Structure 1
Amino acid sequence: MPIQDDSRENQMIDRFNLTVPPDRKRADIDAHLKIDGLDIPFELKSTTNGSIATARDFGMGHIEKWRANQIHWLFGFYLTEEDKADYFIYCSPDDMEKWYSYMEAYIKPDIVLGENLPGHVDENLVQVILGDKDVYTKDDAFSIMKKQYTAEEYTRLMDADDGYTLGRMTEILRARAEYVIARGSTLNNPHIPANFFNGREHIVEEPAIKLRELVRAYLRNKRATEEAAA
C-alpha cells in the first residue's frame, strides 16, 4: 500500500475509533467496529479524485469474501487536500450489493470460459505443441508449466522413466490452461465510479458517533427484514 494511502487509512481508523488486530496481514480485513457486543468488519478506502480503487488482481474471490464476511465499507474523500478528508461515506453490505452484482456480471464470461475451456485440452493439442513422443521430458513439462511447479512437483508427476506419458502431459497442459485463463479473468484494480456515491450521506461532524448511528440503523432494518421474512 502506498505510504499516502496507508496514512489516510490510519487517519480513518483514528477518527472513527476502529480497531485493527496487531497481526493483521495485507489480505485481512482492514478494521473492525466494536458496537453493542458485535464486531463489525470494515473495508477502508480513500480517494483524491472521486472514484475508488478496489483491489489488484480482482476476481470473484474478492466478492465472495466481502459477501461472506458481511463487510461494511468506509470511504474517505480527500478531494481538496491529500492529507485532510473533505468528508466520508459509509456503505453497508446491502449498499454495496449493487456494485458486487455489476462486477460479478462483468467478469462472468471469463469465469465461464475458465471453467469450461481447459476441459477441451486433449492429447492432440499436446502433440501440436510438443510433438508426438513416447515419453515427454522434464524440459517438455517445464516449457508448459514454467515456474508454476516446484522441482519436487515436476518429479512427483512423472509417470514414466524420467519423464511423462502423453496422458500425464495432457493433464499438465490442462492445468496450465486453467491457470492462464484464471489469471486472465482477474481485473487490475477496478474502480468504484464516483457516481456510485451520488446522493449518499456525507459524514463530516462527529464521525465516530455518526458511523455508529448509521451502523445501528442498518442492523435494526436488517433484523426487521429477517423477522418479517421468517
Structure 2
Amino acid sequence: MAPFNQDDERERAMISALNLEQRPDRARHEEDGHLDFPHGGYTRRLLFECKSAPVESDFGTGRDTGLAQLQRWATMHFVFAWFQPRDNRPKRIWYGSPAMMRDWNLAEQAYLKPDLALLNLVPDAVDDRVVSAILGDKEEYTFQDLNMLLKNQWNADKKKGRPHNLYKVNADIRSAKRTEDNLYSRRVAELAVRDRIRYLLARGGTVNNRKIFASYVMNHCVEIHPPKWAANLACAIGEALQQEEQLPHQ
C-alpha cells in the first residue's frame, strides 16, 4: 500500500473534516475551498487555501509562487494539517486568518522584491549593441532569427493573454502570407530581445516551494481540535472576524 502523501487526497480529507465546499469549475490555481459564513447580519464567502504535511514537518507553498499569488493569498484564509503516513485523517489542524498570516506574507513579498526590481529595470537597458550581440548586426531580421530567440513566446495563446500572433503583428518590413517569410526591422528585433529578457526574468521572479514553517503556524494560528473540527473552525473564524473589525482601518 502506498503511503498517504498525495496532496489531493490530503486536501479532500481536510475539506471533508472542516465541512468546506468546493466549486466544481474551479481552476487548480484558485481557492482550494470556500465557506459561506454568516457574520454581522450578512453572509460572507471566505476563500480557503489548504496546506498539508507529514507530522512535525513544515508546509510547502507549491511551485512558482510569485507576487500575484502572494497578493491573492493576503485576502484568503488558510488551514494547515499534519497527517500520518497511510492515514486519511488529519492528526492536527490549524486555522490562519488573513491577519494571522500577514507577517509571513509580507516577509515573502519582501524576499521577492530585488528580483522584481530587476524584472522592471533590466529590459530597458537593452540597446543596439545588445541586439547585435544576440541576433547579429543586420538591418533586417527573418522570422527564423526571432523565432530562434523567442520560441513560442510570440505565438497566439488566448490562455496566456495573447489573442494575436505577434510574429505577424510585428512584421514591419514584410508581412507575408506565410509567417516564415516575414521580415523585421532592428526596432522590432530590440523589442524581441526585451520581451525575451522579461520572460526569462519573470520565470525567475517566482520561488519554488518556499516553506511556511511549522513554528510560524503554531505561534500565529489557532489550533482546531477534534472531534468537532467544523464547529470549532466556525468559532475560530468568528473570533478572527471580530478581531479584524476592531483593528484600525489602514
Structure 2: 5+ residue stretches without partners:
157-164, 175-181
More helix by share: 1
Structure 1 segment 188-227 matched on structure 2, within 5 A: 188-199=208-219, 200-205=221-226, 206-226=228-248
Aligned-partner Cα distance in 2 for 1:189–1:74: 17
How far did 1:16 drift? 1.0
Q: Secondary structure at the match of 2:52?
A: strand
Contact between 1:51 and 1:194, CA under 8 Å: does it hold in 2? Answer: yes
Aligned-partner Cα distance in 2 for 1:187–1:29: 19
- Counterpart position of 1:174: 194
- Counterpart position of 2:120: 115
Contact between 1:80 and 1:86, CA under 8 Å: does it hold in 2? Answer: no
Structure 1: 5+ residue stretches without partners:
none
* Superposed CA RMSD: 1.9
TM-score in terms of structure 2 length: 0.84
Identical aligned residues as a percent: 32
Aligned-partner Cα distance in 2 for 1:85–1:153: 50
- Counterpart position of 1:17: 19
Contact between 1:86 and 1:204, CA under 8 Å: does it hold in 2? Answer: no
Matched, 1:58 2:58: no
Q: Which moved more, 1:99-108 or 1:77-86?
A: 77-86
- Counterpart position of 2:185: 165
Q: Secondary structure at the match of 1:154?
A: helix
Aligned-partner Cα distance in 1 for 2:112–2:135: 32
Structure 1 segment 20-169 matched on structure 2, within 5 A: 20-36=22-38, 37-49=43-55, 50-67=57-74, 70-79=75-84, 82-150=87-155, 152-161=165-174, 162-169=182-189
Q: Secondary structure at the match of 1:86?
A: strand
Residues 27-62 of structure 1: per-residue CA shift (max 9 Å, x gap): 111111122122111111111152111121111011
Number of residue pairs matched? 225
